[in-house]
A and B are shown apart, each in its own frame.
Chain A
């Protein structure tokens, strides 16, 4: 069929008319999608509390049960009275604090007077931290202050926490830092 300008306009008009009246008669193709299994279907579900701020939103954490035990998904807990399932952008991205290829998983050590970071083994790093804490504490520990009151503290060490550690980890840190006699226990959010 030769499609000149006149025929084209006619055809377009027909098309418009058909479109106008055929709106409801659109031929529904068989279009049922297959049911899909949730990625969390076989996962273990545990509740937790978001680490980021003091609102304390409840979380559902889904972990792999096939061996690795890694986190598959973290989402808001609909049954938690604080947030009823909702989260902010940071909370929604919480799984990234655990499962992200950009995470640093080795100890980075920069020796004094260099600008180079080198990978150090964990065993060496932990040993060295313990040694330095012991030295600093021994040097600065004071049992009493100027007025003779018992204080049992050290002002030679400070501790900075992270916003990405959860309630239970914070408890352990707090307990160990207090037992050392630290008074300057700080959190990233106030820096």
Chain B
């Protein structure tokens, strides 16, 4: 079994933010102080208590707003998570990857890790730090729900079918089929890093228009930190750091 995966179809997202709220509700996360900062995207960024955020960007061409782009952002649950590679150098139990589902989980031992390194290792700008406890947090794939045969909160709540969840191979097939349909209207539509991630996002316009870290490959090569490179070369032997 390939484990589980998401398929996020951005052509269907209406930015109702049901997923964002359902995520908070299931995780019992508190609200954040928000203010009008010129965008409906609120809170402005992910945080230790905001695992899921609907990003909103205006697509402006020749001074005219052509489209309003919505992107429900969350951890992509990489099949080979670089955050875990880096984290394992300091504490192998801080970041776990579940064998059956493939979920990448930050535990209460993440305070043994260096946040700057973990954040730098993430191509999608996902992990966030709680200053008070030095713990790091991000989407946990609603791991407790998934292993109890329930859908993740964000997927269950989605009224439009933008958020989908299931076995990874099924999600990949669903993404491929939907891409074919969407390409008729949006020739530039792409799937974001579909072979490396458990969260496959269908972008109907260029991914960077949605968010600067929407896909990893756009950063080009050389995103590996030295620590990551060493981790790959020598395994996880702390003596070599």
Contact = CB atoms under 8 A, between A and B. Distances in A.
Interface in A115-155: none
Contacts of A27: 235-236
B193 interface: no
Given A27-B235, A74-B25, A89 B156 contact: no
A31 interface: yes
Nearest to B22: A92
Contact of B25 (A37, A83, A95): A95
A170 B151 CA distance: 32
Interface stretch (B111-119, B211-219, B224-232): B224-232
B98 A19 contact: no
B96 A32 contact: yes
B97 A38 contact: no
A92 B147 contact: no
Interface string A8-47: 0000101110110011001111011101111100000000
B151 A22 contact: no
A38 B144 contact: yes
Given A87-B159, A88-B18, A31 B25 contact: no
B182 interface: no
B14 to A, nearest CB: 10
B233 interface: yes
Contacts of B24: 93
Given A36-B144, A87-B157, 17 more contacts: A12-B229, A14-B233, A16-B229, A18-B229, A18-B233, A19-B233, A27-B236, A29-B84, A29-B92, A31-B99, A74-B25, A76-B157, A78-B156, A86-B18, A90-B21, A92-B21, A96-B25
29 contacts: A15-B230, A15-B232, A15-B233, A19-B229, A26-B80, A27-B235, A29-B84, A29-B88, A29-B92, A32-B96, A33-B96, A33-B98, A33-B143, A36-B144, A36-B147, A38-B144, A38-B145, A38-B150, A39-B144, A73-B25, A76-B156, A76-B157, A85-B157, A86-B159, A87-B18, A89-B17, A90-B21, A92-B22, A93-B25
Interface of A: 12, 14-16, 18-19, 22-23, 26-29, 31-33, 35-39, 73-76, 78, 83, 85-93, 95-96
